[in-house]
Structure 1
Amino acid sequence: MIHSLSLSDVLAEHARSRPQVTAVVDGEVRLTYPELDARVSRLADALATAGVAPGERVLWLGQNSHAVLELLLACSRLGAIFCPANWRQSADELRFVVEDLAPRVVVREPSDATAALTADTTLWVEAGEGYERLVASGSPGDFPPAADTEPVLALYTAAFDGRPNAALLSSAALLAHSVSLLVVRQMEPGFTFLNNGPLFHVGTMMFCLATLQIGGTNVFTPAFDAEEVCRLIDAERVTQAFLFGPMIDAVTKANTGGKYDLSSLRFVSHSAEWDAMITVDDSPWCRSKMGGYGQTEVGGMLTFLGLAPGAAGFAGRPSPLAQVRILAPDGSEVPAGEVGEICARGKTLFSGYFARPDLNAVKSAYGWHHTGDLGRREPDGTITFIGPRLRMIKSGAENVYPAEVERALKAHPAVADAAVIGIPDATWHQAVKAVVALKEGVEATADDLIDHVKNALASYKKPREVAFVDVIPKRGFTPDYDALDAAHGGGNYPGT
């Protein structure tokens, strides 16, 4: 184990080398690195007592909390796997996650979606007081080092076939990605990150872990609220937060008149009003508008525009710890200028999907991870992202997969067939539109179908509009999405 370095090892080292640094801020909770390390040891012991052995899973069903980081670090200490699930999902979606992952322990916040969930072999712990009792029940102690190559984090992603898959990431992959991000973002000691984006999303998690690795401070808030983001940036002198266009506009509006001092935030230039409130950052990451290409399976970012200023390819150049090839279906590399599938291998890559051996074999064909996305190598060696090989809708920061929404629509008793497209949206980039053929002699309104999907899936996946047709055009056995886009205003897909 002399060459191993896990997330748990990073924490243990910070407890010794940064004894006075604040590691975590969450409401009234403030923990130094030694205090965080002690809690994680107690939590790991409590989880072990509950039957969490190496390879077992622990599931979090709730909003952002310092408990998410503690559970991840405790699982790293045990060689177990931690999964923060999307709390915005419906009861049916969360039930699938519980059945698929078969966790030994679930920590959940009370909600309508989580209340009815059960599993015989699982310890169910209520977040808040129940979680604190779990931590207190453990005893401090030493744990044998866990291999950094074993999976430690599971993030559900890629519902192209109608159900998501849990991508498994090891400590080695996560720390390698953090190193790349530390370089491009030019993170330094004292870096303070506001976890206001969802921690089930790799975009927030990757900065949370990079902040941990540099020995910075992670500030947690349950979910995005513009006024609270302003208050926390001011109070905790936050360096960076999870923000993009509409969120930046909301924060700017909330701070009209300069009620809060946001100058500690070193961030991307956005508008005259925003730029006057913050410190416009000059790191490669911020100069490039946080540009690049990534996905959960590569730990976050595979390429950075910040590594290729003035490049021809708007996805930039690969991380220093990864390789990228543009491959044809037969596994051969296509010439520069031609389109193929973006494929990768290297230190930041995931360990495969949980309990998906057939999918893993397909995704790792020819010794490369196949991202499912199309790209092109430009003459200067940089990468251009073209778009998903299979269709995806991008609404704000969320990925919506048509197959998943189509499956929900087809479960309605009045629906004979359905297809889902993305339509341009000025605020969220795209919105979901359903094209539906009803069964003969059966009636349903657009509101009926929208409510049906909202009850089956997370609210952001529901159609905004529904168009009724006699028949869904097909290309073979699948909907002819090009024809549907042309007929019903589809467009603005990622990469276009």
Structure 2
Amino acid sequence: MSVVQRFTLGDVLSEHRRGRPLDTAVVDGDVRLTYPELDDRVNRLAHALAADGVTAGERVLWLGQNSFRVLELLVACNRLGAIFCPANWRQSADELAYVLNDLTPKVVVWEESEAVEKARGQVTLDARWVRSGDEYESYLSGDTSEPAHADVLSGTPALALYTAAFDGRPNAALLSSTALISHSMSLLHIRQMENGFTFLACGPLFHVGTMMFTLATFQIGGKLVFTPAYEPKEVCRLIDAEKCTQAFLFGPMIDGLVEANKDGAYDLSSLHFVSHSPEWDKMITVDDSPWCASKMGGYGQTEVGGMLTFLGLGMGGAGYAGRPSPLVHVRILDADGSEVAPGEVGEICARGPSIFSGYWNRPELNEAKAAGGWHHTGDLGRREDDGTITFIGPRLRMIKSANENIYPAEVERALKSHPAIADAAVIGVPDDRFGQSPKAIVVLKEGETATADDVIEHVRGEIASYKKPREVAFVDEIPKRGYTPDYDALDEQHGGGAYPGS
């Protein structure tokens, strides 16, 4: 007789309840919860969600900044076989309305904001809306904390993260417990996370970079510290007070912490992190794990749970994306699905337990993405003679500004909604601070006028502010290749460059 083994995010918490009864699981402002206390809340929340019709396959949406409630909503939904999605709270009302209409959640947990209020007024949705805070606490104040486990398989989609707006609208990538736990185990290995690991979630939890470390810390039974958003002084205070081992940080954020702590008021030595500058290195403990020693390098995307390859597995190799995670297989395939020879460029394709389950409600796209039994990333790469991987760049162009991916098609759609704009294209130009910034190339309608500030403000109202162009060039015509802009010509004419992989 064979036994079907199940191992879900809900099971991880159940085990920590028994194995770590005295350990702190989460810290968020005045909230401090041990693993048993977190488990009790998750069970009460699961019962409340079930009473509102959240069953297997239903969706629950979070519209708000970082909070410990994101974790407990994820695990509670997983115990019901439901899908949880933390949306990008920085989006415009129109973008949030799109997510609401696309995902059709059964329950929406939200924090008050003008964009959320406007989005709510734009949709007709049969959903229970629960305001985060006192209303949320009342929502899960039921008198039972009995286990709320449905018969959930490990491969059931658990988390949805919106990504990949190449065609102008994003898609929700679905990640199962198997995928999330598998990725966590790879990250635990490369980062050498040990007992007592404490992660400060100061980056957005709708971003896979923050979420992957949150879940790896959860997997190992570490302490998770949440702060609503990155604020340098508060991040310094939390690192000092909670003795954080790791945080979601990159270049400009690190520079902000150095400036905020230039008087040495906070002890940041508990932070085992990547070397960055002499001032930063004196404040922290420079970490020698493969993850930090390699400058947190590799290649990844939301659809693979975070990282597909790690530079830490290929330091000194010819390919600057390193080698694949121990739990995936990677192939470089041509347009016919055949593997190309080392040194030749093809599409990076992968399979393994950490790969996503497809996109929500995108059957045709899912079929194309899974052709031949491999996940087609949409990115170009090359396997070097020593077996390491080089990331070349997206098959469809992408702009990388700081740590944010900006897809020209999405910005172009926003530009073309301006009443004075006849046509538009977006390129990335080198930026000393952020690596790249978007630049709009705009054709005005005959007889219409608009200034660069008009155009930038219009885009800011249509999509998230960080996606808006920082420069606008007005031209008579946009060069085309077929029906699409000739981006190479635009780069040459308007100073484009510094694309990922270049």
For normalisation by structure 2, the TM-score amounts to 0.98
Q: Deviations over 1:137-187 (max 9, x none)?
A: 363222234111000000000000000000000000000000000000000
Counterpart of 2:246 in structure 1: which amino acid? Answer: Q
Aligned to 2:360: 354
Contact 2:104–2:125 under 8 Å retained in 1: no
After TM superposition, give the deviation of residue 309 of structure 1 in Å. Answer: 2.0
Show the counterpart of 1:441: 447
Alignment check: 8 A CA contact 1:46 1:138 kept:
no
2:427 equivalent to 1:425: no
- Pick from 484, 487, 491: which aligns with 1:478? 484
Tell me how many residue pairs correspond in the alignment: 496
Judge which range, 61-70 or 112-121, deviates more.
112-121
Deviations 1:390-446 (A, max 9, x none): 000111111111001111111111111000011111111111110000011111111
Match of 1:170 among 176, 182, 186: 176
Distance 2:18 2:217 in 1: 17
> Residues 317 and 383 of structure 1 are in contact (CA less than 8 Å); yes or no, is this contact kept in structure 2?
yes
Residue 141 of structure 2 aligns to a residue in which SS? helix
Distance in 2 (CA, whole Å) between partners of 1:282 and 1:465 is: 40
1:67 matched residue in structure 2: 69
Question: 1:272: how far off?
Answer: 0.8
CA contact (8 A) 2:173 2:356 kept: yes
| 2:34 equivalent in structure 1 | 32
Instruction: Identify which of 112, 135, 148 aligns with 2:140.
Output: 135
Give the counterpart of 1:48 among 47, 50, 57: 50
415, 419, 426: which one aligns with 1:409: 415
Aligned equivalent of 2:84: 82
SS at match of 1:169: strand
Deviations, residues 10-63 of structure 1 (Å, cap 9, x unaligned): 001000110000000000000000000000000000000011000000000000
Kindly report which structure 2 residues correspond to 1:477-496, keeping only aligned pairs within 5 A, or say none.
477-496=483-502
The offset of 1:132, in angstroms, is: 0.9
**Alignment pair present for 1:198 and 2:200:** no
* Other-structure match for 2:395: 389
Counterpart CA distance in 1 for 2:383 and 2:443 is 41
Higher mean C-alpha deviation, range 130-139 or range 20-29? 130-139
Deviates more, 1:460-469 or 1:130-139: 130-139
Contact 1:46–1:139 (Cα < 8 Å) also in 2: no
* Cα displacement string for residues 90-143 of structure 1 (whole angstroms, at most 9, x for unaligned residues): 000000000000000001111111013144310011111111111113632222
8 Å contact kept, 1:437–1:471: yes
2:221 is equivalent to residue 215 of structure 1: yes
Partners of 1:442 and 1:150 lie apart in 2 by 52
5+ long unaligned stretches in structure 2: none
| 1: CA distance, partners of 2:442 / 2:136 | 45
Query: Is there any run of 5+ residues in structure 1 with no aligned partner, and where?
Result: none
The question of whether the paired residues in 2 share the 8 Å contact of 1:44 and 1:138 is answered with no
Match of 2:468 in 1: 462
CA contact (8 A) 2:81 2:150 kept: no
Structure 1 CA distance for aligned equivalents of residues 496 and 315 of structure 2: 32
Is the CA contact 1:419–1:434 (under 8 Å) kept in the aligned structure 2? yes
2:230 is aligned to: 224
The equivalent of 2:161 in structure 1 is 155
Among residues 114, 117, 130, which one is paired with 1:115 in the alignment? 117
Is residue 202–residue 230 contact of structure 2 (8 Å, CA) maintained in 1? yes
User: In structure 2, the residue corresponding to 1:153 is in which secondary structure?
Assistant: strand
* Distance in 2 of aligned mates of 1:487 and 1:464: 17
Which of 105, 108, 127 matches 2:107? Answer: 105
Contact 1:90 1:456 in 2 (8 A): yes
Q: Secondary structure at the match of 2:140?
A: helix
Q: Is the counterpart of residue 256 in structure 1 residue 258 in structure 2?
A: no
Quote the residue 1:295 is aligned against: 301
Deviation at 1:226, TM superposition (A): 0.7
Residue identity opposite 2:128 in structure 1: L
Secondary structure of the structure 2 residue equivalent to 1:205 = helix
In the TM superposition, residue 378 of structure 1 has moved relative to its aligned partner by 0.2
Structure 1 residues 133 and 119: CA distance shift in structure 2, 3 A: farther
Q: 8 Å contact 1:423–1:432 — kept in the other structure?
A: yes
The reply to whether residue 22 of structure 1 matches residue 24 of structure 2 is yes
| Seq. identity, % | 71
196-205 or 251-260: bigger deviation: 251-260
* Distance of 1:135 and 1:255 partners within structure 2: 39
Alpha-carbon distance in 2 for matches of 1:22, 1:464: 44
Q: Report the CA distance between 1:257 and its aligned residue.
A: 2.1
Q: Report if aligned partners of 1:376, 1:384 keep a CA contact under 8 Å in 2.
A: yes
- Runs of 4+ aligned residues of structure 1 deviating over 6 Å after TM superposition are none
Tell me the distance in 2 between the aligned counterparts of 1:135 and 1:250.
Answer: 38
| Structure-2 separation of matches of 1:354 and 1:17 | 35
Q: Distance in 1 between matches of 2:320 and 2:251?
A: 18
Letter in 2 for 1:230: C
- For 1:370, the equivalent position in structure 2 comes to 376
1:452 matched residue in structure 2: 458
Aligned match of 1:185: 191
Equivalent residue for 1:241, pick from 243, 247, 259: 247
Q: How many angstroms apart in 2 are the aligned matches of 1:29 and 1:138?
A: 20
| CA displacement at 1:2 relative to structure 2 | 4.0
Whole-angstrom CA distance in 1 between matches of 2:404 and 2:315: 27
Question: Retained in 1: the 8 A contact 2:176–2:357?
Answer: yes
CA offsets 1:255-303 (integer angstroms, 9 cap, x no match): 1021100000000011111111100111111110101000000000000
Distance in 2 (CA, whole Å) between partners of 1:159 and 1:34 is 39
SS where residue 136 of structure 1 aligns? coil
Q: TM-score, normalised by structure 1?
A: 0.99
SS at match of 1:470: coil
- 1:206 deviation in Å? 0.3
Q: Distance in 2 between matches of 1:68 and 1:489?
A: 41
- CA deviation profile, 1:169-213 (whole Å, cap 9, x unmatched): 000000000000000000011000000000000000000000000
| Residue aligned with 2:428, SS | strand
Equivalent position to 1:126, from 131, 156, 179: 131
From 319, 323, 327, the counterpart of 1:321: 327
- Whole-Å separation in 2 of the counterparts to 1:309 and 1:495: 17
Conservation of the 8 A alpha-carbon contact between 2:359 and 2:366 = yes
